A and B are shown apart, each in its own frame.
Chain A
Amino acid sequence: MAISGAALVLFLLLHMIGNLKIFFGAEAFDHYAHWLREIGAPLLPHSGFLWIQRVGLLVALAMHVWSAAVLTIRARKARPVKYAHRKPVQGSYAARTMRWGGVIVFLFVVYHILDLTTRTFNPVADTSQANAAVVQGFAPDRWYVTAFYVLAVLTLGFHLNHGIWSGLQTLGVSNARRERVLKGTAFAVAFVTCAGFLVVPFAVLTGLVK
């Protein structure tokens, strides 16, 4: 859970930073999208690096889902008879929504790939046009896309807030002295990731990015 999660968080941060390239203009963003496909050239073929990354992410995702499934099944088995009266005392909202939050984020990722990678659901079919795909994808008349995006990113934020700290605890990095600092770090990373991802659709909606 922790190790695969760490790989996914690393990708998310790089993805978020890459997205911010859109504020440097359409040409810069399209160039960045093109460059992603040329990393490692000529040693790697076109999109070679991306495919290596995709395989890596799939492995991490599979490990993450598998671990989550094992934990969920064990939890179900460990409490066959439910409480008639149950009250969560401390567990944060984030901690209690890890499982369904993860499912929501996963469903969004499937949609997100069909939208902006394969362009199945995107009005811009030409994959060399990254900026146009983002701008038209988040166009005001496609408000439901933006709404789903915002919901997924906020869910991701909650997931990261508990997940990053929980991962550090699982790896035995946390202790009494560091606990507050690590929880603060997890919140900061979750907040920055959320903000970095959300700023793009809102920039499109307000006309800041054309």
Chain B
Amino acid sequence: MSLKLRIWRQADAADKGSMVTYQLQNVSPDMSFLEMLDVLNERLTLDGEDPVAFDHDCREGICGMCSLVINGVPHGPEKATTTCQLHMRHFTDGQTIDIEPWRAAAFPVVKDLVVDRRAFDKIIQAGGYISAPTGSAPDAHATPVPKADADLAFEAATCIGCGACVAACPNGSGMLFTAAKITHLGLLPQGQPERNTRVIDMINAHDEAGFGGCTNTGECTSVCPKGIPLETIARLNKDYRQALRAAS
């Protein structure tokens, strides 16, 4: 395959940045999207140019490091698929592919396609945890959890914190991420002691980080590589309402 790539190049956070066009030949349809970028970077390096910086780690779709808005869609055209698991066979020979970083004030660009996602860590630090004695492992089944709750909690816990929800949201909101954590912990008995303070603190941290507000457009859930449902946001809203009532 031969491709025309238009990639966002930005030297550092202070640089203005722009889309730069590259022609790439001999792309195998069996390459992953990131391997295609590796090929481009090899060529750029050999040519003495600065390779395109992009985030990646496990390349197995579970670490949440890869990002990239591909032709206007976070993680590209395949549903429930991370960029690293997206293969070039889903593109056509001669196609133009636009590659941009996540666009959000809370996720400033570090370089090229790499953004700083520490804003998510701040939300987690505000309440995305449980207080439990560490040390020896607790007995299995010491705390019974209904199967249905465990399944729903697990579904929410599959959130890898990649930030695609923010990238897709017309409001730049991180509500799906926050809601996934609220749902994950709120459904389990271990999450109950801090349930009320968690939702208030996490929402406050979310807003302080500069994310926008949720208007329920559902863009987030359609690009989520883990298919976190919009229902989690309703659950967050319900928890928030109950926490406000408990606080007053």
Give residues in A with beta carbon < 8 Å to B.
70-71, 74-75, 77-92, 95-96, 98, 162, 165-166, 169-176, 179
Q: In residues 189-222 of chain B, which contact A (Cβ within 8 Å)? A: 210-219, 221-222
Stretch at the interface among B31-39, B82-90, B226-234: B226-234
| Nearest B residue to A81, CB-CB | B103
Task: Name the residue on B nearest A70 (C-beta).
Answer: B213
**Given B172, B213, B215, B223, which contacts A89 in the complex, CB threshold below 8 Å?**
B223
Is B118 part of the contact surface with A, judged by Cβ < 8 Å?
no
Contact (Cβ within 8 A) A79 B105: yes
Complex CA gap A173/B231 in Å reads 10
Give the nearest-CB partner of A165 in chain B: B216
Contact of A86 with B72 in the complex, beta carbons under 8 Å: yes
Q: Which B residues touch A83, using CB under 8 A?
A: 69, 72, 100, 103
How long is the Cα–Cα vector from A96 to B19 in the complex, in angstroms?
Answer: 27
Q: For the side of the interface on B, what is the size category? A: 35 or more
* Residue B125 CB within 8 A of the other chain: no
Q: Are B237 and A171 in contact (CB under 8 A)?
A: yes
Which residues on the A side are within 8 Å of B100 (C-beta)?
83-85
Task: Please give me the residue from chain A that is nearest to B241 by CB atom.
Answer: A172
Residues of B within 8 Å of A71, CB to CB, are: 171, 212-213, 215
Q: Which 8 A-B pairs have the closest CB atoms?
A: A172-B238, A78-B172, A87-B72, A78-B212, A90-B222, A172-B237, A75-B171, A85-B98
> B211: nearest residue on chain A (CB-CB)?
A78
Contacts of A173 in B (CB 8 A): 234, 238
Interface membership of B114, Cβ < 8 A:
no
On whether A78 and B221 interact (CB within 8 A), knowing A71-B215, A98-B215, A166-B216, the answer reads no
Given contact pairs A74-B171, A165-B216, a sample of 8 additional A-B residue pairs in the complex whose CB atoms are under 8 Å apart = A74-B212, A77-B105, A78-B104, A78-B106, A89-B222, A96-B170, A169-B230, A172-B236
Tally inter-chain residue pairs, CB-CB below 8 A: 111
Bound Cα distance from A143 to B168, whole angstroms: 42
Residue among A77, A79, A83, A175 having the largest count of chain B Cβ atoms under 10 Å: A79
Query: In the complex the two chains form, is B210's CB within 8 Å of A96's CB?
Result: no
Contact of A169 among B69, B168, B223, B234 (CB under 8 A): B234
B83 CB to closest chain A CB (Å) equals: 15
Check B73 for interface membership: any CB of A closer than 8 A.
yes
Q: Are A77 and B219 in contact (CB under 8 A)?
A: no
Q: How far is the CB of A70 from chain B (nearest CB, A)?
A: 7
Q: Which of A74, A82, A169, A176 contacts B237 (CB 8 A)?
A: A169
User: For A75, what are the chain B residues with a Cβ–Cβ distance below 8 Å?
Assistant: 170-173, 212-213
**Distance in Å from the Cβ of B90 to the closest Cβ of chain A?**
15
Neighbouring A residues of B106 by C-beta, 8 Å: 78
The smallest C-beta distance from B213 to any residue of chain A, in angstroms, reads 5
Task: Report yes or no: B223 in contact with A91, Cβ–Cβ below 8 A.
Answer: no
Q: Does B2 contact A (CB under 8 A)?
A: no
A77 to B170, CA, bound (A): 12
Smallest beta-carbon distance B62→chain A, Å: 22
Interface centre among B168, B212, B233 (most CB of A within 10 A): B212
Q: Is B240 an interface residue (CB 8 A)?
A: yes
Please state if A95 and B72 are interface contacts (CB–CB under 8 Å).
Answer: no
**Chain B residue at minimum C-beta to C-beta distance from A76:** B212
